[in-house]
Amino acid sequence: MRVVIAGGHGKIALLLERLLAGRGDQAVGLVRNPAHVADIQQAGAEAVVCDLEEASAEDVAVLLAGASAVVFAAGAGPGSGAPRKDSVDRAASVLMAEAAGRSGVRRFVQISTMGAGQPPRPGTDAVWAAYITAKTAAEDDLRARDLDWTILRPGRLTDAAATGQVRLAAPPVPRGTIPRADVAAVIAALLDEPGTRHQTLELTGGDTPVATAVRSIC
């Protein structure tokens, strides 16, 4: 399986690239910074330099030719302001989905966030509100497309080691944390289960093995 990962140098993306390479799949990480290429290659993936705030859907569609799936793992990240929540967390996801449609890549796993899907709470910090608004808009765009999408909303991410045990279900799942390594494992499993298409799923740490959790929602 050839899987193109938007935001290929992200923390979840690098973990996912290692998992995919380890099981014999071909991962391709899209990065905007050429200095990140070596890290992607070290993870066992192919790197392509592509700034998702500059590229057109046509440009990205060319990069997706021959892929089996797209994973949207990009994000403007901490320290960014509201404009980049819109240009990355929303617009880059829309761009990837549009490109997937144009190039005939049907499978699309989007990393969203718990809290998306409803308006930001009154009094919320403006940048956090922009983030939630951007993620919600990216989800809405993806749901409206004729793609085999799965939207994954993790809880607060940690860099702890993988536990292999999660709680994965349709919303609402109680708030919680989840190691990025477990998110990567869930995405790898979702890619193998087309039966998870057209589902919005929330994810935290839990007590169900990843494979069982993914099978149970098919």
Ligand X SMILES: NC(=O)c1ccc[n+]([C@@H]2O[C@H](COP(=O)([O-])OP(=O)(O)OC[C@H]3O[C@@H](n4cnc5c(N)ncnc54)[C@H](OP(=O)(O)O)[C@@H]3O)[C@@H](O)[C@H]2O)c1
Residues tagged active-site: 131
CB of 59 to ligand X, least distance (A): 12
Residue matched to tokens 């069982």: 212
* Contact stretch for ligand X (CB under 6 A) within 41-49, 87-95, 120-128, 138-146: 87-95
Q: Select the residue interacting with ligand X from 4, 12, 173, 188 (CB under 6 A).
A: 12
Q: Is 73 in the site for ligand X (CB under 6 A)?
A: yes
Cβ burial, residue 81 (10 Å; 0-12/13-18/19+): exposed
Among 7, 117, 179, 206, binds ligand X (CB under 6 A): 7
Q: Which stretch binds ligand X (CB under 6 A): 6-14, 40-48, 121-129, 168-176?
A: 6-14
* Nearest partner of 177 among 192, 166, 191, 186, judged by Cα: 166
Q: What is the DSSP letter of 35?
A: G
Contact predicate 8/17, CB 8 Å: yes
For ligand X, the closer of residues 82 and 215 by Cβ is 82
Of the residues 71, 75, 86, 182, which one makes contact with ligand X according to CB under 6 A: 75
CA 113 to chain CA centroid, Å, is: 10
Of the candidate spans 10-18, 41-49, 57-65, 186-194, the one that interacts with ligand X by CB under 6 A turns out to be 10-18
Structure tokens of 140?
Answer: 């809405």
- Cβ 189 to ligand X shortest distance, Å: 17
DSSP secondary-structure letter at 195? G
Give the integer Cα–Cα distance in Å for 141 and 139.
Answer: 5
Please, what is the minimum distance in Å from the beta carbon of residue 113 to ligand X?
Answer: 4
Interaction between residue 117 and ligand X (CB under 6 A): no
Give yes or no for residue 113 binding ligand X (CB under 6 A): yes
Closest CA to 153 of 118, 101, 192, 193: 118
User: Which residue is listed with tokens 């192919």?
Assistant: 46
Given the rule CB under 6 A, which residues bind ligand X? 7, 9-13, 30, 32-33, 51-53, 73-77, 88-89, 92, 111, 113, 154, 156-157, 180
